[in-house]
Amino acid sequence: MSRPNEEGLYTLSNRQGMRVLVSARGATLVSWLTPDSGGRMADVLLGYPDRSGYQDNSTAYFGALVGRWANRIDGARFTLDGVDYQLDPNDRGNHLHGGGTGFHQAEWTARQDDAGLSLTLESPAGEGGYPGTLKVAVRYELNDDGALSIVYEASTDAPTPVNLTSHPYFNLNGGASDIGDHLLSIAADDYLPIDSTGIPLGVEPVDGTPFDFRQPAAIGPRLRLDEQLKNKQMKDALGFDHCYSLRGGRSAEPREVARVFDPATRRTLTVSTTEPGLQFYSGNYLEGVIGRRPEPYAIHDGFCLEAQAFPDQVNGPDAEAVILRPGQVYRQTTIYRLGV
């Protein structure tokens, strides 16, 4: 069994020379060093300069595993089996990413072996306002093809909503510029328009909108279409922060749902998942965040592709699909693969 380095980080590596650094604080993906088409190494993840930044990772959630509920719950409340629950309202009156005591703030128990890194956490009943004690396990493995698999499992002693995701910010050029030149494609015909606080207003087709990434398109020009992005009452839109309804819904095995290509470095990122939704976030609130480079981050310096259930689904007609009950096991697999 390996131990963390002096900074408390565990290392996963492969034959390509890739290195992924993981912290037990928030089960966080801290760094991913990977070569470009010329063999030059760079870190394609955004993050804080040292461990102190991760002690309160509640602004950007850099690389963290977030839960019990990824994304937002309207009004920070839901009803389950006839009982009303009030959660931590930490985002404009809504509940975001598990609240102030979410999994991104927790010290996970880590155990590394030759194949990967396993982390476990027990969330007591009442934490963040949630019912039931939830036991969570996540497994990170990096293979020689550049695929980082994230396998989640959870069990509970009382019914509770569960929706987990990983929150890494990518910039495939290693931070040499923003993400504007990145070409993105998403296997989704529909997306969820949102109100001014990020709560979904339904489901609409992407056809004829800036949200249509069914064919590869540069992110930058879409970010400049301000009036089109400020749709459906989203009056303070700074970019994308929307969930896509992926083709085929939830699947038993991971399937490829998104691809990103950086023309400058020829790096490619693919995302595969078992989940029905994919949140595309274009780093709208990165302005002024102190990270690992000499100057602060700026808006759109990184992007997130977060595989998950749908925002506020616990208050929708398909709520039962996100309720974990005793005797059941929550399972999810998401794979990020980097290559050139």
Distance (Å, rounded) from C-alpha 219 to C-alpha 179? Answer: 7
Q: What are phi and psi of 119, to 5 degrees?
A: -130, 140
- Cα 132 to the chain's mean position, in Å? 24
| pLDDT in the model for residue 269 | 98
Q: Which residue has the higher pLDDT, 140 or 51?
A: 140
What are the DSSP calls for 163-183, one per residue? B-EEE--B-TTTTSS-STT-E
Q: What are phi and psi of 112, to 5 degrees?
A: -105, 140
pLDDT band at 237 (very low <50, low <70, confident <90, very high): low
Q: What is the amino acid identity at position 61? A: Y
The tens digit of pLDDT for each residue in 46-90 reads: 999 988 888 887 889 999 999 999 999 999 999 999 999 999 999
Query: What's the fold here for domain 9-339?
Result: Beta-galactosidase; Chain A, domain 5 (2.70.98)
| pLDDT in the model for residue 304 | 98
Task: Tell me whether the omega of the peptide bond preceding residue 293 falls within 30 degrees of 0, making it cis.
Answer: no
Q: What is the dihedral of CA 22, 23, 28, 30, to 10 degrees?
A: -60
Nearest to 314 by CA among 186, 170, 160: 160
3-state secondary structure of 229: helix
What's the whole-number mean pLDDT along residues 321-338? 98
The tens digit of pLDDT for each residue in 153-188 reads: 999 999 999 999 999 999 999 999 999 999 999 999
CA distances from 109 to 91, 112, 149, 281, 331 (A): 28, 10, 19, 29, 19
List the catalytic residues: 167, 306
Given a contact cutoff of 8 angstroms between Cβ atoms, the answer to whether 266 and 340 are in contact is yes
Give the predicted TM-score (pTM) of the model.
0.96
pLDDT above 90: residue 226: no
The tens digit of pLDDT for each residue in 249-280 reads: 999 999 999 999 999 999 999 999 999 999 99
| pLDDT in the model for residue 6 | 74
The tens digit of pLDDT for each residue in 278-305 reads: 999 999 999 999 999 889 999 999 999 9
Given a contact cutoff of 8 angstroms between Cβ atoms, the answer to whether 117 and 111 are in contact is yes
Question: Which tokens belong to 335?
Answer: 């794979």
| pLDDT in the model for residue 227 | 55
Distance (Å, rounded) from C-alpha 58 to C-alpha 303? Answer: 17
What are the DSSP calls for 241-266, one per residue? EEEEEETT-S-SS-EEEEEEE-TTT-
Q: 300-317: buried (b, 16+ CB within 10 Å) or exposed (e) per residue? A: bbbbbbbbbbbbbbbbee
3-state secondary structure of 156: strand
CA angle 158, 249, 337 (to 5 degrees): 95
pLDDT band at 235 (very low <50, low <70, confident <90, very high): very low
